[in-house]
A and B are shown apart, each in its own frame.
Chain A
Amino acid sequence: MKKTIRPLFIILVLVFLYAPILLLILYSFTDATTIGAIRGFSLHNYVTLFTTEELRQMILGTLWLAIVSAILAVLLGTFGAIGSFYSSKKINIFMSSLNQVPVINADVVTGFSICILLVEVFGIDKNTFIPLVAGHTLLCAPFVYLSVMPKLKQMDPYLYEAALDLGATPFKALNRIVIPQISSGIISGFALAITLSLDDYFIATYTKPSTFDTISTYVVNATKGAQTTIKTALWALCAVIFVIVVLVVTVSNLRTMRNSRKERAGI
C-alpha cells in the first residue's frame, strides 16, 4: 500500500500546482470569459494580446526594466563581490552584512523605504524611472553578489598571482583569469536577477511612474477591473510565459545534462 501512496501524493501536489495554470491555458484558446463555461475554440485572446498597444507596452516595459536592472545588478554585484573578497576581513563582513539586508527584508518594506528616500527626501520625480531602476537593482544585486562570492572562494588564489608573475597587467589578469573562473556565478546571478525583476510587484508599485506598468502591477490592477477582453488576454499571456519557461528550463537542463555526461566520459 505504501508504495502507491508515495507517487500518488507527489502527483496530487503537482496537480495542485499545475491544474489552475493548465486550465487557464486551455481556456485561453476559447471565447469563454470565465472558467467552466463550455465555449468554442478561438484565438481572439492571442490576437488581443499581440495587437493591443497597452499590453504590448506593458510587456516590453517589463522586459526592458528586467534587462536594465539585471545588467546594473550584475556589474555592481560582481565587482562588489570581487572588491569585498580581496578587501580586509572587516570590510568584507561589513559589505556582506549590508548585502543581506535587502535579501531578508520584506519587499514591501524595501519598496516603501526606497520611495520615501528618493521621492520624499531627495525629491526625485518617479517619471524619471530613477527610483524604479534603483529599486529593482537593489532587489537583484545582492543575489548576484551571493552567487559570485562562493565561486571566488573556490578559485585557486595562486592563478591570479601566476598571471601577474608571467607579465599580465592587473586588468588583463582580472579579465582573463578571475572573470572566466567566476563566470558560472555571474551567469546564474544574471538569470536570478532577471527572474526576480520579472516577478516583482511591491518594489515596482512603490517606485514606478503612474503611467508605467509591469506585468505584475498590470495584472493586479486588471483583476480588480471588469474589462473581460483584457482579463482573458492575460490568460493568453500566462500561456505564452508558461511555454517560454518550459523551453528555457528544458534547454538549459539538456545542456547541463550533456555537459555532465561529457565530464563523466572524460574521466
Chain B
Amino acid sequence: MQIFKLSRKSLGIPYGIFLILFVVLPLLVLFYFAFTNGQGHFTLANLSDFFTDPNTLGTLFYSFAVALVTTALCLLLAYPAAYFLATSSLKQKEVLLLLFIMPMWINFSLRITALKEILTVIEGNLARYPFANAVVGMTYDFLPFMILPIYNTISRLDPSLIEAAKDLGANERHAFLKVTLPLSMPGVISGIAMVFLPAMTNYVVLDMLYNSTYIMGSLIGSYFSAYNWHGGSMIALILLAIIILFTILTGTDQDDRASGTGGALL
C-alpha cells in the first residue's frame, strides 16, 4: 500500500521536472541576461536604457495605445453581440455562438492575410492608416476571445433576478444597468485579459498589415534578430512585470482561457 501511494503521486514527477526545466529555469536565465552585459558583469544599463531611450518609451506608449483601443473596440462589438445572443429566445443559440468562436480555429496568419486583402481594396494603400489597421487587425484576431467569456457569464445569470428587478419597478434599461451589467463584469474582465495583453505583444499582426511601428513584442523580435540576448531579456522581463501586474489587477482566473479556446469544440 505504501509503495503504491508513492507511485500514484510519482506520476506527476516528469511534469514537475518539465516545469522546473522549462518554466523556472528560463525565468532565471532571463533575469541573468537582463542584468548582465556582454562580458557577464552585473549591470543596470539594460534597464536604464529602456526607460531613458525615447524610442523604447515611445514603443511602450504605442503598445498601450494599440492595446487600449483594441480592447475598447472588442468590448464595444463583443458585449452587445454576446448580450443579444445570450438573451435571445432563439432555440439554436449554440449554433450562432459556434459561428462566433469558429474563427479561433482557423490559422490566424491566414485570417490576417484575408483581412489584409480586404483592407487593401478598401483603403487602396495600407500605409495610409497604420494605427487603424493595427487596431482593426488585432480586433479581428481577438474578438472571439472577448465574446465567449461575456456570453458565458450572461447566459449563466439567473433570469429570475431580472424578473425580480422588474417586479420591483425597474424598467428594461434600469434592470440591465443595475443587474445584468454588474453581474456580467467577471466575463468582461476575463475578456479584457485575453485581449489586452496579446494586443501589446502580437507584432506579427502589425507586420502583416505593413505597419512598421514597433510594439513591445517587436522589440524582442528585433533584439532576437540582432543576437542581443541582454536587451531582449530585459524587454521580456518588463513585459512579464506588466503581465503579472495586469493579472493581479484583474484577478482573472485563467482557467477561462482553457475553456475559452477549446471548450466549445467538445
Interface residues, chain A, with chain B CB atoms under 8 Å away: 6-7, 9-10, 13-14, 16-21, 23-24, 27, 34-36, 75-77, 79-84, 86-87, 91, 95, 98-110, 112-117, 120-121, 134, 137-138, 141, 143, 145-147, 150, 164, 170, 174, 184, 187-188, 191-192, 195-196, 198-199, 201-202, 205-206, 215-216, 219-220, 223-224, 234-235, 237-238, 241-242, 245-246, 248-249, 252-253, 256
Beyond the given pairs A112-B220, A249-B102, 18 more chain A to chain B contacts, judged by CB atoms under 8 angstroms and listed by A's residue number, are A13-B100, A16-B140, A23-B117, A80-B14, A80-B16, A95-B16, A98-B20, A108-B202, A109-B240, A112-B232, A112-B236, A116-B33, A143-B258, A192-B258, A215-B110, A216-B107, A224-B207, A242-B106
> Which chain B residues numbered 172 to 221 have a C-beta less than 8 Å away from chain A?
197-198, 200-204, 207-208, 217, 220-221
Whole-angstrom CA separation of A150 from B253 in the bound complex: 14
Instruction: Check if B22 sits within 8 Å of A223, measured CB to CB.
Output: no
Instruction: Check if A219 sits within 8 Å of B229, measured CB to CB.
Output: no
For chain B, the count of residues having a C-beta within 8 Å of the partner chain is 88
Instruction: Check if A199 sits within 8 Å of B108, measured CB to CB.
Output: yes
B88 at the interface (CB under 8 A from A): yes
Q: In the complex, what's the smallest C-beta–C-beta distance from B10 to chain A, in angstroms?
A: 7
Query: Which of the candidate stretches B1-9, B43-51, B53-61, B160-168 sits at the interface with the other chain?
Result: B1-9
Instruction: Check if A105 sits within 8 Å of B243, measured CB to CB.
Output: yes
Q: A114-B22, A141-B15, A141-B18 are in contact. Are A191 and B266 (CB under 8 A)?
A: yes
Whole-angstrom CA separation of A245 from B103 in the bound complex: 9
Instruction: Check if A146 sits within 8 Å of B30, measured CB to CB.
Output: no
- Please count the residue pairs between chain A and chain B whose beta carbons lie under 8 angstroms apart in the complex: 273
Q: Whose C-beta in chain A lies nearest to the C-beta of B261?
A: A192
Q: Show 7 A/B contacts (Cβ-Cβ < 8 Å), sorted by A.
A: A21-B111, A35-B120, A91-B16, A106-B197, A113-B233, A146-B258, A174-B8
Complex interface: chain B residues within 8 A of A192 (CB): 258, 261-262, 265
Complex interface: chain B residues within 8 A of A138 (CB): 18, 22-23
B80 at the interface (CB under 8 A from A): yes
Instruction: Check if A87 sits within 8 Å of B9, measured CB to CB.
Output: yes
Whole-angstrom CA separation of A168 from B266 in the bound complex: 31
Whole-angstrom CA separation of A10 from B103 in the bound complex: 15
Contact of B224 among A13, A24, A112, A234 (CB under 8 A): A112
Instruction: Check if B204 sits within 8 Å of A102, measured CB to CB.
Output: no
Whole-angstrom CA separation of A206 from B197 in the bound complex: 19
Instruction: Check if A170 sits within 8 Å of B98, measured CB to CB.
Output: no
Among A104, A109, A224, A235: residue with most chain B CB under 10 A: A109
Q: Whose C-beta in chain A lies nearest to the C-beta of B13?
A: A83
B12 at the interface (CB under 8 A from A): yes
Q: Whose C-beta in chain B lies nearest to the C-beta of A8?
A: B84
Complex interface: chain A residues within 8 A of B203 (CB): 108
B96 at the interface (CB under 8 A from A): yes
B40 at the interface (CB under 8 A from A): no
Whole-angstrom CA separation of A95 from B201 in the bound complex: 26
Instruction: Check if A76 sits within 8 Å of B18, measured CB to CB.
Output: yes
Q: A112-B220, A146-B258 are in contact. Are A117 and B266 (CB under 8 A)?
A: no
Contact of A95 among B4, B7, B15, B106 (CB under 8 A): B15
Contact of B107 among A17, A100, A120, A199 (CB under 8 A): A199
Contact of A201 among B96, B109, B116 (CB under 8 A): B109
Q: In the complex, what's the smallest C-beta–C-beta distance from B147 to chain A, in angstroms?
A: 8
Top 6 A-B pairs, shortest CB-CB distance: A83-B12, A80-B15, A192-B262, A113-B26, A20-B114, A219-B109
Complex interface: chain B residues within 8 A of A75 (CB): 14
